[in-house]
Structure 1
């Protein structure tokens, strides 16, 4: 049996196993104590009866003994008188112990005149073992049912030298594991499990809410403060998460404001320098300075866009990924790009993703732009993998990227050496922004060189 993975199921299984072990051990201990107590009680009752009948026989004429013994017969007990003992003395511990106890009841004068034997009586013969009905029919003429298997035989020598023999059926001990006991154990176990499950549901509900909130926060979503419920430990963890979420929001907001102010403040000196340069006489040095100022302005604007993207607070909505990707591909096709959207592997049910559609659309557009720019043709397809994740593949027919550069291209402002020209290489933030958006949605962005060109693979979890 595989061990369950969820906390609630594990706790229920552990409590159930503990209950079964505890009830079983308790039942075994109580059964032993019950059996010993009942055995002691039965022995006292038997010895009291035997002591009384011995005293009665000793005080009455022998002619009345047979009538007295007949009147004393009870179900499970039989008395008779013998001329000689039928039991040989043995060294068995149980027989010696019973002899000593009976001596205490009868007196020291009977110390050497008592013999005890515990033996199996009326055991079904071998030929009747396979047919219990024939055995019952054979004994149906008895006034009382045959004695149980374990029978206690006691013989006491009277003053007239005759031996009083009593055959006593050892009474069956009433088991503790009767229907009432099992019903009680079942009801108590069900009540304990019900209370445990009810309490665990409250605890695990708080943990589930905390897990979902942490997942949403990791995807860059806005997370409202959680209600601190449950045990003190859970409340402490929830409060710590709320404080962390609040500090993160404040940090991102302050950083965005600072960089926005910095970008705004840079516009003034850059604009002033451009105006001064434009008033100067045309020269090669003037054109180089203007180009440098243009690079500075583009980099400041791109940096601000990147920072805003990493701290995006756009609302999350349910979006059909097939429709979103199809609209993007149509836009590029309308512009004359050699792009096809292969929908043969698209799931039958439209993949609905909880995402920030504007951010996700911007990331996919960046990737499609790169594929169209560097590849002769582009093929796009969407599928679902066995893990329940949506996989978007963008395969271009271009030169690809050197293996050593596949990870470095995700670094901000990094451009492959052959694309240093601004007209072809850009600022170097497109892939960084795209990966930031994909990761914030809980997904992954991977690049891989194939025989055809560069393969861009995006994996997004639906849940």
Structure 2
């Protein structure tokens, strides 16, 4: 049964919207019909009131037609037994005039059935239900009877208006619900696409919902698989090339040692050292995240303090500011290379470097590495995080390096589920801010 119902559900978004509209109209009509019925039976007592008035009028006519007092008393007793709510009683003998001070004329729905020869007035002292009615028979005998229902009040809205109003309410409610369902799927879909990165570990997009969304999800899943495959193949190729280059570089270094010209030998060795450094930097940048060692809990404050002391011992102006002990889960070697790159970058473009660690109990760990150099213009900072970007001459007169330091630090931060941003420093230069989750 469930499979049969599922087979009737349209695959496309347009079909689902049409079906939801039809369901909206049908449901709103059912709600309106039910409310009209409730209005007729509960909020409009005209039919019950008419039947009750007819019953009371028939009893009064029987009493008026009875030949004697004894028969009339029997009719009154029988009427009270069958319907105690009316509380019928004889209050005045025949031929005795009785006037109800300030009495109001009984409602039309009662006087119509009584006839013109019987006069009915409503006691003004009974303002709430049931209303007390005094009836004067043709022979001037007076009766008192309770009318359990008040006169009908006109309904606030007629059935047609009720139908239109509740149909509109039902349609709007169901359309809002349907729109939220479809928009939620699209929003989740867009968020999954926006958060995708080739170096991240993401679940496949759900291939469910309307046919259009399923088609796009399948296409994007395949495209993401192709992108992952291309990135992995590129990484494997460049890594292999980098490893293979080490062997000829080593042979060239050994052969250079036998060059008799000292100037030429030193120049060649210097170039070979630069090539080795470039190979190591590229291999560090292209390291596969899945091959990284597991995270270890390290005293981050002591780690940063030790790095600062190492530079201070060599005469570099590097100081650490922050707590004495803060633990964090990091990959120590990779994180050491990233922070070292940032410190070297600060000292290369400035004369002083300051490392600041901020550790809030309910927030991430924040590491600021600042310098007093010329800084980087705000519109170039995002670009400077890309590989092989070394900036322009305004940053430094020297063009040493390969432009991989910031890129390696950014990759390391992402591999730790953190971020790296470049900002203005209070020291006048650049501030590289690393954030790490606890």
TM-score if structure 2 supplies the norm length? Answer: 0.59
- The answer for the alignment partner of 1:99 in structure 2 is 111
- Range 52-61 or range 278-287, more displaced: 278-287
The alpha-carbon distance between structure 1 residues 85 and 404, as it changes in their structure 2 partners (threshold 3 A), is closer
Q: Which of 78, 91, 98 lines up with 2:88 in the alignment?
A: 78
Deviation at 1:85, TM superposition (A): 7.0
Confirm or deny: 8 A CA contact 2:66 2:72 kept in the other structure: no
Cα RMSD (Å) of the superposition?
5.3
Deviation at 1:364, TM superposition (A): 1.9
1:170 aligns with 2:148: yes
Confirm or deny: 8 A CA contact 1:438 1:460 kept in the other structure: yes
Deviation at 1:262, TM superposition (A): 4.8
CA distance in 2, matches of 1:66, 1:78: 10
Confirm or deny: 8 A CA contact 2:64 2:137 kept in the other structure: no
1:41 aligns with 2:69: no
- The answer for the alignment partner of 2:226 in structure 1 is 247
Secondary structure at the counterpart of residue 135 of structure 2? strand
1:379 aligns with 2:361: no
Secondary structure at the counterpart of residue 394 of structure 1? strand
The alpha-carbon distance between structure 1 residues 30 and 257, as it changes in their structure 2 partners (threshold 3 A), is same
- The answer for the alignment partner of 2:133 in structure 1 is 153
CA distance in 1, matches of 2:418, 2:190: 17
The alpha-carbon distance between structure 1 residues 259 and 401, as it changes in their structure 2 partners (threshold 3 A), is same
- The answer for the alignment partner of 2:422 in structure 1 is 446
- The answer for the alignment partner of 1:313 in structure 2 is 290
How many pairs align?
Answer: 360
Deviation at 1:446, TM superposition (A): 1.5
CA distance in 2, matches of 1:400, 1:252: 36
- Range 359-368 or range 447-456, more displaced: 447-456
1:65 aligns with 2:40: no
CA distance in 2, matches of 1:399, 1:368: 12
Unpaired runs of at least 5, structure 2: 1-30, 151-183
Secondary structure at the counterpart of residue 327 of structure 1? helix
- Range 274-283 or range 373-382, more displaced: 274-283
CA distance in 2, matches of 1:99, 1:164: 15
1:399 aligns with 2:373: yes
Secondary structure at the counterpart of residue 313 of structure 1? helix
CA distance in 2, matches of 1:258, 1:366: 25
Deviation at 1:330, TM superposition (A): 1.0
The CA deviation string for residues 352-380 of structure 1, in whole angstroms up to 9 with x for no partner, is 55x65554343222113334555555432
